[in-house]
Chain A
Amino acid sequence: MDPSHGFLFPNELHITWTVMIVLYPYITGMVAGAFIVSSFYHVFGMEKLKPIARFALVSSFAFLLFATVPLLNHLGRPERAINILLTPNFNSAMSGFGFIYMFYMIIVFLEIWFSYRVDLIERYEKSRGIVKFIYNIIILGNTNDNENTRKYDKKIIVFLGGLGIPVACVLHGYVGFLFGSIKANLWWSTPLMFIIFIFSAIVSGLAVLIFLYLFIHWRRKKVINQESIDLMSKWLWGFMIIAVTLELMEILSISYERTEKWAILSKLINHELKISYVYLQIGLFSIVPFLMLTVTSLFQSLNNNLRNSLIWLSSGLLLLQVLFMRWNVVIGGQLVSKSMRGFTDYFPGYFDKEGLLVSFLIIITPFILLRLFDKIFPFFGKKELVE
């Protein structure tokens, strides 16, 4: 059976960018968002965020390590991926990707190194044998730790964090630009795209940190730092309002202008993406967490347990919201025929090379890696155990 309906150009029967390209902006979004959150403490000195700053930084790194995996899995010739660094075509929006990505990776790596240096020296001194040798390599044989070195480390961290914020915005805004600059695609082509991507990145970064922070603390029965959770949840509330509003404003302006493309895009929204966009992304995953966060942000009298449950639930829903947003942008845009006369259909398949199982594994690996990081360098102090 022909899965498409209406008229498609013959080459449009299969979409080119699969669910792997949905995962890439999803993961980099969390990278950029988590980094920006960590910088609020490191650079702007928001003490309330101290308990989460390191965790945010390492999360950013863990996601960053896996951000290119879906891309490599999707490339037709992954063994040639290095060409993007060797022969970049600077007319292309995509060509800077490798450089920005590497630059950002270096910044995050250095910032982690400097913020963990003191702990590493401590561990070096306590350990023996081969472990001591490994630690010695990691700290580059430098065991200096005093007032001055700590001050210096802090200075560097502030510098790297400050430099990292615009780079994080570029890294992710740039992904939005990759889509927004494609004039051939009616659903993507808008200058708002990269702004929407930045805000949704911050939403997903905040959401993943809150989600994991509360989850870990509940599981380990540790005391939750209510101040930082309250602050983060308020930010989550604010940033999700901006992100969702921007996206709706974009659609409002297309629909109000009623240019040629609205005829087909209205069908896209009302039929092809009705469930994934209207019901799920906007309805269940935006309006519901918006209402919950409104309650937790405005009603201070709420008891902490209920408040944290609502915050945790809405951060989980917002994580899904951003995932659906990526899906609706990346896949939705490709469903529309460039003939403006029809739609194709897409399902990734369960066990395909670019199917749902592989997607799940790619999404889950950074979380497993985070768990391992936590084993080596605990993110949260041990003394906060509930009595």
Chain B
Amino acid sequence: MSERIPILRIGDTLLVSVQTDLEDQTVLNLQEDLADQIVARSAQGVIIDISALEIVDSFVGRMLATIAAISRMLDARTVVVGMRPAVAITLVELGLSLGGVSTALDLEKGLAKLSRPTSSAPQ
């Protein structure tokens, strides 16, 4: 049985806080659950908090980019918040700069980013 990460809702924003090192299947479950929840709850925004993640490898990095793309198609914006400096350095060196994924330093800044008009959203 694979784990599922809880998805919380604040207003029209969905909030996911990743608290542990993820198994691949859990990552895939999250993708599907988020897509379902964006539609079911008419969410306008998704915030993924990765401040507890010590590493983000290409699999998880791709998941973040995929979630951003899926939510864009479902008319919601995604902001990844709380990336550790060492994770950012490692991702860039790995060759994954997560173009198309909007980021903010913490949850508060992420919510602020989502509340701004859509014109400032990434491509």
Are A and B physically bound partners?
Answer: no
